[in-house]
Structure 1
């Protein structure tokens, strides 16, 4: 029996039930989930072990909350690297710069970053970067992990890269190159790194335990992530439908855009390495608590009761900016993920590849589990983090169980 800590407001008990069920039936090791509604926290739960190596049992391994065989327990302030959930956090920066009149979404990237115009990218627009239409999801020469995090080799490589399709004519998930595209654009416009901008303009004013570039003094709060196998679906559910092609199958082909996009850093970096966590990789390197993710998205869609000195009356996005974030820019077969995907400006939108709460939801999953989004129609913001990375890029079964339970609680 997992020892679940935290609270749920009346009516949101189905979310707690699904959270417990994830440990019992879906291979969860350590995780947290938080939900805000109309700026107020209604779910705040955590359980399991801080490190994935701690095992599948609850805190302490014996339900006592101690440091027994199950490893150090997940605490209220435990944070994890959230992989591509980071993309949704990073996307807020260019949208806020646009909101403040500092960045033209229809302007050419080369206006702000002249070196980027090389090799047929003269007409790439800022909105193409955010909607995965820029045509540079791959690097002809992958970067070593040490190069990927040094702030120099990544921007130089994407600036020199020739597009693999005519920019603006198709979309394909920029799994790693999104880091250097968005990060360098923000640096050119503001003179600050994107991690510093997020810290100064978003995380500190909102009181978020969220970092792009983890401070060394916060290392002790961060659990270790790692792969875990998802248990097979119960026979009673019947055969699982599979798409004609899957990202996993496409990844097996070393020449595919899928393999090349996810292999833009090679070999794959150690995501538990302190150097990786301290780097500012907007595509994959953010560290956050579940509460911070939910609170961040709550601030995108409406005021928070204690939001601090924000510029827009206690909220981050003005109504027009919120519309930009969740208006479809890309839809249909994804050149990298191969299944159909939907993107607004920087955010995945609700759809079969990444089901969120409803048609108006926007957010971003992280490969292997974590998920964060907002649903303006219901006033709900959601954050889920896990240390057990299961196979899959978008619709993780643990996150989806929580989303279904949240949907049921709202009906």
Structure 2
């Protein structure tokens, strides 16, 4: 056992023993070598089922990095181009002045359609055609390409529908055939989880009771504001534990999120770094800041590459995605390190576990 494995294992054991976490997975690769495969705690507190390296975890927006990887692999083999106009393959999307929006705009959260109908339910999010129709009919919040703002749910449908229109296949199938399968992680990296695999999925729990905020307070938060009947964060379909444990959500393609093991998603980032999925030139492009400034939806200073947040953990060479429940997957182009952190206690907006693991891993050469 390496010192890095021991250090990470000790950290997550302590997090579980102190009650800060229920169950945690951590995987670390460097230049093709698995350095850390650590796990602690239980996957389901009701049954006592232990967390293992093969436990699947619904990881919300950590999955966006997987969705982006599908696009980059297709671009690598010439099936599509980042400057493809979305409406050229999805004509309905041109409605209300969106005809100039490109795949690059979608990847950088600049397409101008961050919202879904304000009354969107979990059942709606599970209905691919319904959601794509709503997004196609949306009036843009800004002219595509002139600003950017986080697209919490629409990112997945925008990317996924372009993939479907170009390939004729659902994005989950393309993920399996073009990314997960070739990397040997087809049974550990999903958008929609096959029903026979549901018994491997961790039970998500909220770290604290949900707080009810009055409508007037919600309206002051950019994420929840309503524009022409659309909102970036529909309150009836928030990604809390109840949402994350629903069978219909887990088995549907909602590729703004994903269900995975830490080992599988770290493998995917390692493959991006190592040239197994894309060329060095494409890696430089996707992991470099394409847009930088104040995000129109989060109101936070942000830098986006092509589908990835850039400069994570205050390191300019780190790119990846964090999930709203405190999960993350990222890679460092400077060190060749890739990391996956999954867990089943959803701590909204709190990334203490990720930051602790990153401190151990990125501080070690």
Common topology (TM > 0.5): yes
Name the CA shift for 1:34/1:291 in 2 (closer, same or farther; >3 Å). same
Measured in 2, the distance between the counterparts of 1:111 and 1:190 equals: 14
Measured in 2, the distance between the counterparts of 1:255 and 1:136 equals: 19
Aligned to 1:3: none
User: In structure 1, which of residues 8, 15, 34 is the aligned counterpart of residue 8 of structure 2?
Assistant: 15
Measured in 2, the distance between the counterparts of 1:257 and 1:300 equals: 33
Q: Which consecutive unaligned segments of at least 5 residues does structure 2 have?
A: 226-230
Measured in 2, the distance between the counterparts of 1:36 and 1:276 equals: 30
Contact residue 47 and residue 74 of structure 1 kept, 8 A:
yes
| SS of alignment partner, residue 18 of structure 1 | helix
Name the CA shift for 1:26/1:325 in 2 (closer, same or farther; >3 Å). farther
Aligned to 1:160: 137
Name the CA shift for 1:219/1:109 in 2 (closer, same or farther; >3 Å). same
Measured in 1, the distance between the counterparts of 2:97 and 2:19 equals: 46
Contact residue 148 and residue 296 of structure 2 kept, 8 A:
yes
Name the CA shift for 1:249/1:348 in 2 (closer, same or farther; >3 Å). farther
Name the CA shift for 1:135/1:262 in 2 (closer, same or farther; >3 Å). closer
Measured in 1, the distance between the counterparts of 2:207 and 2:218 equals: 23
Instruction: Give 1:99 shift.
Output: 1.4
Contact residue 252 and residue 259 of structure 1 kept, 8 A:
no
Deviates more, 1:250-259 or 1:397-406: 250-259
Instruction: Give 1:24 shift.
Output: 4.5
Aligned to 1:318: 279
Measured in 1, the distance between the counterparts of 2:215 and 2:8 equals: 34
Aligned to 1:111: 88
| Residue 42 (str. 1) matches residue 14 (str. 2) | no
Measured in 1, the distance between the counterparts of 2:16 and 2:7 equals: 15
Measured in 2, the distance between the counterparts of 1:405 and 1:81 equals: 24
User: In structure 1, which of residues 368, 385, 389 is the aligned counterpart of residue 346 of structure 2?
Assistant: 389
Q: Deviations over 1:58-86 (max 9, x none)?
A: xxxxxxxxx7xxx2221231111010011
Q: How does 1:265-304 map to 2 (within 5 A)?
A: 266-268=236-238, 270-284=243-257, 286-302=258-274
Contact residue 70 and residue 178 of structure 2 kept, 8 A:
no
Instruction: Give 1:17 shift.
Output: 3.3
Instruction: Give 1:47 shift.
Output: 0.7
| Residue 77 (str. 1) matches residue 54 (str. 2) | yes
Aligned to 2:22: 29
| Residue 345 (str. 1) matches residue 306 (str. 2) | yes
Contact residue 216 and residue 278 of structure 1 kept, 8 A:
yes
| SS of alignment partner, residue 14 of structure 2 | helix
Measured in 1, the distance between the counterparts of 2:91 and 2:268 equals: 32
Aligned to 2:328: 371
Q: Deviations over 1:180-233 (max 9, x none)?
A: 111111101110010010011111221111111101111111111121149xxx
Q: How does 1:68-147 map to 2 (within 5 A)?
A: 71-147=48-124
Instruction: Give 1:21 shift.
Output: 3.5
Instruction: Give 1:330 shift.
Output: 1.8
Aligned to 1:149: 126
Name the CA shift for 1:170/1:229 in 2 (closer, same or farther; >3 Å). same
TM-score, length of structure 1 as denominator length: 0.81
Q: Which has the higher contact order (CA 8 A, sep 6+)?
A: 2
| SS of alignment partner, residue 47 of structure 1 | strand
Name the CA shift for 1:88/1:102 in 2 (closer, same or farther; >3 Å). same
Name the CA shift for 1:342/1:79 in 2 (closer, same or farther; >3 Å). same
TM-score, length of structure 2 as denominator length: 0.90
User: In structure 2, which of residues 197, 222, 226 is the aligned counterpart of residue 218 of structure 1?
Assistant: 197
Instruction: Give 1:143 shift.
Output: 2.3
Aligned to 2:207: 228
Measured in 2, the distance between the counterparts of 1:164 and 1:189 equals: 26
Higher helix share: 2
Instruction: Give 1:155 shift.
Output: 0.6
Q: Which consecutive unaligned segments of at least 5 residues does structure 1 have?
A: 1-7, 55-66, 231-247, 304-314
Contact residue 5 and residue 37 of structure 2 kept, 8 A:
no
Task: Indicate the structure (1 or 2) with the bigger Cα radius of gyration.
Answer: 1
Q: Deviations over 1:76-125 (max 9, x none)?
A: 31111010011000001222222111212112111111110000111111
Measured in 2, the distance between the counterparts of 1:332 and 1:13 equals: 39
